[in-house]
Chain A
């Protein structure tokens, strides 16, 4: 009998996978096979210096991913079998899930495509294997998130047309354009943008405090897919920091290029996360922490540690990091105010914060909430009570780079909307911030092509084929909403009286907002009064 074969160590296993599989081409030119790795100016001298710190091999990858899937689907089964959709805190919480399904799943799928592309484009075997695993992870995220949320879609409005909405809805152009900017860049910019700037520096804010908040609000399904996805994310983040070190160590000429990408993608990602700021502060009826606290922990402290470490390579904090620290006291409020004004055009109903929530904001945002935002909400509340609720019927001016409406204020003056302009080839472009204008200035030829929903509406492109602009009662805004897949009263509008609120109270016998009385009296009382 043969003696048992010696088990390979993790390091030996990984080395065999990533050093033995590649080969040098003999009859095709290297640059013809890998045509996209030159033009960005990044210099790589030795791809073998690439190391995945997890040293994950294929057998382990399939084994542990399979185990994660079994665990996740067991929870989703239990959730669905036990009326889980009625066990969350209230019907306002459900609205955050609409942002998730309509805005995030498309990102996961784009990430899957992006990693397939760079897996083909990078010449190094270690990098290609890492990209391949991540491409599979991202597809898994898109699928598991769809499966987990599909149960909610059976009962609640606004989730059924997520791919349609992702491609057309005005505020979903923000996540969509973020990823399309990344995927249309070169392979090195893509991996710095996604693995480092987005996943390493920023996604903790989505998957840690927000998902922990989902758990706190009783959403077993979302927290399970969130944490299951994040366990892959931890691997991607590790890859992100490895990528940065690899690029910086390969050639000093890479440092300024990488720094510019970090500046760009930190700001792009930060702007995108404004959505999460509003979800955390306004859409979790039971709250774990405020956005300002999360930003402090996950960016200022952890990001600070990261950039202190990278200083030895000559990398500094991302440009405008100081602005984000000023904005953390405002961003969630400014966005929620925007959604409230345009609630008729949103894919989810919007509400004014309850008394209890405003008191919480006063405590969490002592320098800003009572001064700038409470008075606004109280005025809107009074208008609503008087039967003349405030609605903004004009189309907003969008930022050419991040595509948010110009809703943010000057970093040092919360009473003035921040508005920057830039002229390029005789045309004027508008920006929400210095950060977004800088990005445009560096690549104007790319960003002049931005597909801005408001411009598309004005140009007449956001109409369905059967729309007739010559009809006497033609209303371009109503037609544009129809094109986006938003049905007023079913998708957006006021939370009070919204179909989700009404159904929630009927099915759960609990108020649609846990801080307010029942919107509709129980059915048996209705019968008594009838």
Chain B
């Protein structure tokens, strides 16, 4: 299925738990743009954004269950697909 370039986003609370997550997202999504608002970080990306468990674990130095994202998640846009290894937001059609 073709990918759309329409923006997706994930917004997280700005805190110590999310620093390594935001870092991992930056590394895995070169097109992502990070906006810092009071108390909140919003990360936009064209069409597709992925949070990879391994990348978070590397930065966190401990095992990470992607469902832990729930604790600090503020909002998201795009269609979500969550597996054990990847949390993906995307728009599938143009």
Per-residue contact bits, chain A 79-114, to B (CB 8 Å; 1 contact, 0 not): 000000000000000000000000000000000000
Contacts of A241 in B (CB 8 A): 79
Determine whether the beta carbon of B38 is less than 8 Å from that of A304: no
* Cross-chain contact of B6 among A9, A215, A304 (Cβ < 8 A): A304
- A518: CB under 8 A from chain B? no
Contacts of B23 in A (CB 8 A): none
Closest approach, in angstroms, between the C-beta of B71 and any C-beta of chain A?
A: 6
Determine whether the beta carbon of B70 is less than 8 Å from that of A64: yes
Residues 64 to 79 of chain B near chain A (Cβ within 8 Å): 67-68, 70-79
Contacts of B79 in A (CB 8 A): 53, 241, 245, 309
Q: Which residue of A lies closest to B42 (CB)?
A: A208
Knowing A10-B82, A53-B80, A54-B82 are in contact, say whether A309-B70 is a contact too (CB < 8 A).
no
Docked complex Cα distance between A235 and B67 (Å): 11
Determine whether the beta carbon of B7 is less than 8 Å from that of A212: no
Docked complex Cα distance between A304 and B26 (Å): 25
Per-residue contact bits, chain A 48-74, to B (CB 8 Å; 1 contact, 0 not): 000001111000100010011001000
Docked complex Cα distance between A233 and B70 (Å): 10
* Cross-chain contact of A309 among B68, B81, B91 (Cβ < 8 A): B91
Determine whether the beta carbon of A234 is less than 8 Å from that of B73: yes
Per-residue contact bits, chain A 111-122, to B (CB 8 Å; 1 contact, 0 not): 000000000000
Residues 474 to 526 of chain A near chain B (Cβ within 8 Å): none
Determine whether the beta carbon of B76 is less than 8 Å from that of A212: no
Closest approach, in angstroms, between the C-beta of A237 and any C-beta of chain B?
A: 7
Q: Which residue of A lies closest to B39 (CB)?
A: A215
Determine whether the beta carbon of B75 is less than 8 Å from that of A207: yes
- B29: CB under 8 A from chain A? no
Closest approach, in angstroms, between the C-beta of B80 and any C-beta of chain A?
A: 4
- A216: CB under 8 A from chain B? yes
Closest approach, in angstroms, between the C-beta of A63 and any C-beta of chain B?
A: 8
Docked complex Cα distance between A56 and B7 (Å): 25
Docked complex Cα distance between A241 and B77 (Å): 10
Contacts of B9 in A (CB 8 A): 302
Determine whether the beta carbon of B39 is less than 8 Å from that of A223: yes
Determine whether the beta carbon of A233 is less than 8 Å from that of B67: no
Closest approach, in angstroms, between the C-beta of B49 and any C-beta of chain A?
A: 12
Closest approach, in angstroms, between the C-beta of A290 and any C-beta of chain B?
A: 14
Contacts of B75 in A (CB 8 A): 204, 207-208, 230, 233-234, 237
Docked complex Cα distance between A27 and B40 (Å): 54
- A164: CB under 8 A from chain B? no
* Cross-chain contact of B76 among A56, A216, A237, A305 (Cβ < 8 A): A237
* Cross-chain contact of A231 among B38, B39, B73, B77 (Cβ < 8 A): B73
Determine whether the beta carbon of A305 is less than 8 Å from that of B11: no
Determine whether the beta carbon of B8 is less than 8 Å from that of A305: yes
Determine whether the beta carbon of A215 is less than 8 Å from that of B38: yes
* Cross-chain contact of B68 among A64, A288, A302 (Cβ < 8 A): A64
Determine whether the beta carbon of B93 is less than 8 Å from that of A227: no
- A211: CB under 8 A from chain B? yes
Docked complex Cα distance between A101 and B69 (Å): 28
18 residue pairs A–B, Cβ–Cβ below 8 Å:
A53-B79, A64-B71, A67-B71, A71-B71, A207-B75, A208-B74, A211-B40, A212-B40, A227-B74, A230-B73, A231-B71, A231-B73, A234-B73, A235-B70, A245-B79, A305-B7, A305-B8, A308-B94
Q: Point out residues on B near A: beta carbons under 8 Å.
A: 4, 6-9, 11, 13, 37-40, 42, 67-68, 70-84, 91-94
Extra inter-chain contacts (8) besides given A230-B73, A305-B4, CB under 8 Å? A9-B83, A11-B83, A64-B67, A227-B39, A288-B38, A305-B77, A306-B77, A308-B91
Q: Point out residues on A near B: beta carbons under 8 Å.
A: 9-11, 53-56, 60, 64, 67-68, 71, 204, 207-209, 211-213, 215-216, 223, 227, 230-231, 233-235, 237-238, 241, 245, 288, 301-302, 304-306, 308-309, 311-312
